[in-house]
Amino acid sequence: MAASKQAKNNGKASKSGRGFGLLETLAFLIGLAIFLYPLLAAYVNYSKDSAAVDNYDQIVDALSPAQRKAMWRDAKKYDEELGKPTLRDPFKYKEVKEPLGRYYKILNVDGKGMMAYVEIPKINVKLPVRHGTSDAVLKDGTGHIATTHVPTDNRTIHAVITGHTGEVGYMLFDNLTQLRKGDVFQIRVLKRHMSYKVDQIKVILPTDVSALQPIQNSNYVTLLTCYPYGVNSHRLIVRGHYIGDDVPPTQPEGAPIYMVWVLLALFAASLVGWYLLSRRRRSCRQDLEQMEHLVSRATGSGTVGEPLATIMVSHEQETRAEATRRRRLIKTRRICSALMWLLALLCLFFAWGSVGMMMRIGFLPVFDLGYHWFDTHLLYFFGIAKF
């Protein structure tokens, strides 16, 4: 009776030591998919934006010199007539009355509203600039605030270009927080590669538009986005003043290349550890199944002619030893399972770090993987964010 009860308990114990492999594998794959989705989606949309920029250049190249000259002259005249604009927060006011009645005709190079593109090599941004700030415009690139000047080389203008931060699956102005005073970016209008040096980085309230107004004898372009990341209660503005055409923009900051190899080595070591632990766990499961089979045999009748007392003592000793070994195997398997979960998380972390380091050395385009989260979120609330 006791032997039968022990066998039943052993069967339950052995079953508790198996059956989790599929669940853990699915959980890991789901976690990996969640990790990769923003990166892959951002890369796809980044490619679409790059294609739009290439298309813009092709259209500009196809225009005759006279056509380009006429478009440029109209843009300069538009800025002169616009004067001091009326400004509103672009993320709250979608519909704005067309300034001077011809805003959407100015620099409409492709016939679809793309007037220029902004290029910021330091954060690997190359995005189309389209007329207005509607939801459709801001989803696929950046928008020019309709009531501000368009980018030209006039003496007194202030153009404002805005883009989203934190748009799922898109990399727009998410990494604008990485720019610093003195950095150079470009606005490419027609054949002009207009260069701007950052001279002001500021966090403002949505209702405060004083920093976006034109200043006499100053040519500015301001890049504007929501701030802080995920909260969007304020606006981050990065202002640059015009310093001429074809001034080389600031390149991405370098990083020790050996760090890439260190992170990749840690990633590989985590994978190897995960594999070895999975083999050890599988071995424990097989041993448990084998013991279950032996226990079922041991609980049967003894050899013919063998004294009953001898059979009972032998079975009792065997059952105790097997129970101890079974508990040890189950414990080992559970420890292996816990360590496999830990190594799976480490694999994701080191993969995250490896991709991020490749971005910093310019091997991959810069996408949002949360690296600036502390700069734009925690530091903001602690009041120690510095630009």
CA distance 327 to 329: 5
Q: Are residues 239 and 308 in the same domain?
A: no
What DSSP line would sit under 40-84, residue for residue?
Answer: HHHHHHHHHHHHHHHHHHHHHHHS-HHHHHHHHHHHHHHHHHH-S
Q: How confident is the model at residue 336 (pLDDT cuts 50, 70, 90)?
A: confident
State yes or no: pLDDT of 377 exceeds 50: no
* Dihedral angle of Cα 361, 35, 338, 329, to the nearest 10 degrees: -100
Whether 383 is covered by a domain: the verdict is no
Report residue 56: phi and psi, to 5°: -60, -45
State yes or no: pLDDT of 80 exceeds 80: yes
Beta bridge partners of 118: 127, 187
Q: How confident is the model at residue 382 (pLDDT cuts 50, 70, 90)?
A: very low
| 349-366 average pLDDT score | 67
State yes or no: pLDDT of 236 exceeds 90: yes
Q: Are residues 288 and 316 in the same domain?
A: yes
Q: Are residues 263 and 229 in the same domain?
A: no
State yes or no: pLDDT of 194 exceeds 60: yes
Q: What is the pLDDT of residue 371?
A: 45
pLDDT digits (tens, 9 = 90+) for 104-148: 999 999 888 899 999 998 887 889 999 988 888 888 889 999 889
CA distance 107 to 222: 19
Q: Where do runs of H (alpha helix) occur along the chain? A: 2-16, 21-62, 65-82, 135-139, 257-298, 308-360, 373, 379-382
Whether 116 is covered by a domain: the verdict is yes
Report residue 242: phi and psi, to 5°: -65, 125
Whether 205 is covered by a domain: the verdict is yes
From the number of C-beta atoms within 10 Å of its C-beta (0-12, 13-18, 19+), residue 81 rates as: exposed
Whether 384 is covered by a domain: the verdict is no
Higher pLDDT, 292 or 243: 243
Q: What is the pLDDT of residue 10?
A: 47
Q: What is the pLDDT of residue 78?
A: 93
State yes or no: pLDDT of 93 exceeds 50: yes
Residues 6+ apart with CB under 8 A from 30: none
Q: What is the pLDDT of residue 380?
A: 44
Mark which of 189, 223, 245 sits at the end of a domain: 245
CA distance 263 to 258: 9
Q: Are residues 33 and 136 in the same domain?
A: no
State yes or no: pLDDT of 185 exceeds 90: yes
Q: How confident is the model at residue 354 (pLDDT cuts 50, 70, 90)?
A: confident
Task: Give how far Cα 221 sits from Cα of 62, 159, 196, 239, 241, Å.
Answer: 27, 5, 7, 6, 7
State yes or no: pLDDT of 278 exceeds 80: yes
pLDDT digits (tens, 9 = 90+) for 43-56: 677 777 778 888 99
Whether 372 is covered by a domain: the verdict is no
State yes or no: pLDDT of 92 exceeds 70: no
Give how many domains the chain has, as a whole number: 2
Q: Are residues 193 and 95 in the same domain?
A: yes
Assess contact for 192 and 116: CB atoms under 8 A: no
Higher pLDDT, 25 or 317: 25
Q: Are residues 215 and 280 in the same domain?
A: no
Average pLDDT over the chain reads 78
Beta bridge partners of 189: 192
| Domain of 220, in residue numbers | 63-245
Q: What is the CATH number of the domain that holds 217?
A: 2.40.260.10
Task: Give how far Cα 379 sits from Cα of 173, 228, 352, 382, Å.
Answer: 19, 10, 22, 5
Q: Are residues 67 and 208 in the same domain?
A: yes
Q: Are residues 166 and 195 in the same domain?
A: yes
State yes or no: pLDDT of 293 exceeds 80: no
| 94-98 average pLDDT score | 64
Place of tokens 């630009």: 387
Q: What is the pLDDT of residue 271?
A: 86
Q: Are residues 93 and 24 in the same domain?
A: no
What DSSP line would sit under 249-316, residue for residue?
Answer: PPPPPP--HHHHHHHHHHHHHHHHHHHHHHHHHHHHHHHHHHHHHHHHHHTS---TT--HHHHHHHHH
Mark which of 245, 279, 302 sits at the end of a domain: 245
Q: What is the pLDDT of residue 346?
A: 85
Q: Are residues 6 and 28 in the same domain?
A: yes
Q: Are residues 68 and 146 in the same domain?
A: yes
Q: Are residues 91 and 141 in the same domain?
A: yes
| 224-245 average pLDDT score | 90
Mark which of 245, 270, 294 sits at the end of a domain: 245
Q: What is the pLDDT of residue 285?
A: 84
Higher pLDDT, 171 or 270: 270
